[in-house]
Amino acid sequence: MDMNSFSLKGKIAWITGASYGIGFAIAEAYAAAGASIVFNDISQELVDRGLKAYAEKGIDAKGYVCDVTCEEAVQALVKQIEAEIGVIDILVNNAGIIRRIPMIEMSAEEFRKVVDVDLNAPFICAKAVIPSMIRKGHGKIINICSMMSELGRETVSAYAAAKGGLKMLTRNICSEYGEHNIQCNGIGPGYIATPQTAPLREKQPDGSRHPFDQFIIAKTPAARWGTPEDLQGPAVFLASDASNFVNGHILYVDGGILAYIGKQP
Ligand code: NAP
Ligand code: GCO
Ligand code: CA
């Protein structure tokens, strides 16, 4: 077994929405494994914040402003990256949003916006990078899925529909482009402590833990929330040659939530 198969040395990795949070942690791990880091975010302010954060970690990341829901902008960005840096070897579709609204109170526009970012954008970004991956003879696409790729819960109908669809988009990219040595897999994080889940962890006025916080602790065998760092090893594995025969797989990094009925109250 050559442990260099886990190395990303010489690879160019584009992580979408990676100014902070899970995307930032994955990019940090990829840099440590030897990759060149490219990221985008929705605003110059976020890109500047990300560039500062990467620089503080000693990472010479390249940042671009790009709304991943806009195909024209994504196509232009990929051409710019290829001209300025090189062909993208690894794409991580990380950018995502959630709107927690009871379904019958959610407008069609709000539903569409979540699906646009969480499902349509991964299609747009994968479509933009695959042709060059085919020409180069290899590629890695990693879609950031969710517990909601498998389970539903109140108020997250759009997000669950999108993340369920992202699981099947992952399998379809595997099916359609596996013959070109392109591996497309998903990472399904459990409940991770990031800004996106901060509302679910807010302390109550009396200082007690948020009911949802207590619920997740009871549902997780590891009895803790995940951290973005918990995702780094699995993400490096799926981006490396060590996983060249893993394709169409959703790797759940959830501390065991999907395996567990939950602790008796
Ligand atoms: P986050 O804190 O909300 O970060 C998502 C990033 O994507 C933000 O920088 C966000 O910018 C950016 N973004 C949103 N819309 C965009 C667009 N149209 N174009 C470009 N960038 C855009 O999320 P996170 O917790 O790090 O999660 C990252 C991914 O993991 C998401 O796909 C999420 O669904 C998934 N996930 C999260 C958890 C969790 O527990 N945190 C668990 C499972 C899966 P803004 O700040 O402007 O929104
Ligand atoms: C929620 C949470 C979840 C997590 C994640 C779980 O409201 O239930 O935001 O959706 O973000 O997707 O895997
Ligand atoms: Ca967000």
Residue 159 annotated among the catalytic residues of the structure: yes
The tokens describing 223, both together, are 């009895």
Sheet holding 250-253, edge to edge: 62-65, 36-41, 12-16, 90-93, 139-144, 182-189, 250-253
> Which of 196, 257, 258 is the best mutation target for the ligand 2 pocket, counting ligand atoms within 8 Å of the beta carbon and taking the most?
196
> Which amino acid residue places its CA nearest to atom 3 of ligand 1?
196
Q: How many CB atoms lie within 10 A of CB 196?
A: 13
For the stretch 77-111, pLDDT in tens is 999 999 999 999 999 999 999 999 999 999 999 99
| pLDDT of amino acid 165 | 99
Separation between Cα atoms, residue 195 and residue 154, nearest integer Å: 20
Separation between Cα atoms, residue 168 and residue 173, nearest integer Å: 9
Q: Per residue of the chain (265 residues), give pLDDT as tens.
A: 899 999 999 999 999 999 999 999 999 999 999 999 999 999 999 999 999 999 999 999 999 999 999 999 999 999 999 999 999 999 999 999 999 999 999 999 999 999 999 999 999 999 999 999 999 999 999 999 999 999 999 999 999 999 999 999 999 999 999 999 999 999 999 999 999 999 999 999 999 999 999 999 999 999 999 999 999 999 999 999 999 999 999 999 999 999 999 999 8
Percentages of the chain per state (helix, strand, coil), in multiples of 5 = 50, 15, 35
**How far, in Å, is the centroid of ligand 3 from the Cα of 75?**
23
Q: What DSSP letter does each residue of 232-247 carry, written as one string?
A: HHHHHHHHSGGGTT--
| pLDDT of amino acid 205 | 95
The tokens describing 175, both together, are 């099916």
| pLDDT of amino acid 249 | 98
